Amino acid sequence: MRLQEDLVCYLVERVLERSAKELEVLERDTADLEAIAAPFARISYTDAVTLLQEKGSEIEWGRDLGAPDEMLLTEQFDRPVFVHDYPKAVKAFYMKENPDDPRTVRCNDLLVREYGELIGGSQREDDLDRLLVRIREEKLPEDVYSWYLDLRRYGTFVHSGFGLGLERTVAWLTGRPHVREMIPYPRLMNRLAP
């Protein structure tokens, strides 16, 4: 999470430093960006569900956070927030099970106010047998994932990864109201070709 935090802080700093004129043209109020600083807030999925229920959400433990829940949750913090340790059932098969609570996986989503998830990351499962169990639990075709299983079969190590949603991050940095404005070649319901 620290690497993700450092990346976001770096991006914000560089955009403010190098693109001030462009942000002005876009009429982007940069006060919220200028306030971005580590450390970001951190909350477990379980605590997030409890907080959301207290704020009137009907979410139940075990369901993934939808956009309304993400928006409500981010309103409770004055900075970006990491939600970590989601239920295994709502996350990808390759995420490592949390030894402290086997119902959950070692993962996180970074949420920002008004835009939701910027980053999703996790520790990856490095044990071949456990990975096979997860693939079978999800009823995924093993042959399709043979290359992935070979990565574990022929040598692996403890590792993690994350992905940053580029268009959503650019929308957040520029203050655009919708992520679709940032997609270079959008494929929408009524537009399937560039």
Q: In what order do the strands lie in the sheet with 107-112?
A: 41-44, 81-84, 107-112, 116-123, 160-164
DSSP-assigned letters across all residues of the chain? -HHHHHHHHHHHHHHHHH-HHHHHHTT---HHHHT--SSPEEEEHHHHHHHHHHTT----TTSPP-HHHHHHHHTT-SS-EEEE--BGGGS-TTBPBPTT-TTBBSEEEEEETTTEEEEEEEEBP--HHHHHHHHHHTT--GGGGHHHHHHHHT-----EEEEE-HHHHHHHHHT-S-GGGG-SS--BTTB---
What's the domain count of the chain?
A: 1
Percent with pLDDT over 70 in the chain: 98
Let me know if residue 10 belongs to a domain. yes
pLDDT at 194 over 70: no
pLDDT interval class at 189 (50, 70, 90): confident
Is residue 35 situated within a structural domain? yes
pLDDT at 143: 95
Residue 119 covered by a domain: yes
Asked whether residue 143 is domain-assigned, the answer is: no
| Residue 190 included in any domain | no
> How high is the pLDDT of residue 144?
96
pLDDT of residue 31: 96
Task: Report yes or no: 105 and 86 within 8 Å, Cβ to Cβ.
Answer: yes
pLDDT at 185 over 90: no
Query: pLDDT, tens digit, for every residue of 74-107?
Result: 999 999 999 999 999 999 999 999 999 999 999 9
Give me the pLDDT at residue 193, please.
66
Tell me whether residue 144 is in a domain: no
Structural domain contains residue 133: no
Query: Residue 105: its pLDDT value, please?
Result: 98
The pLDDT of 151-173, averaged and rounded, is 95
Domain membership flag for residue 185: no
pLDDT of 142 higher than 90: yes
Q: What's the pLDDT tens digit per position in 22-73?
A: 999 999 999 999 999 999 999 999 999 999 999 999 999 999 999 999 999 9
Q: How confident is the model at residue 184 (pLDDT cuts 50, 70, 90)?
A: confident
- State the residue range of the domain holding 79: 2-124+159-176
Specify the CATH number for the domain of residue 76.
Answer: 3.30.930.10
Top pLDDT among 76 and 180 is at 76
Rounded to the nearest integer, the mean pLDDT of the chain is: 95
Please give the model's pTM, rounded to 2 decimal places: 0.92
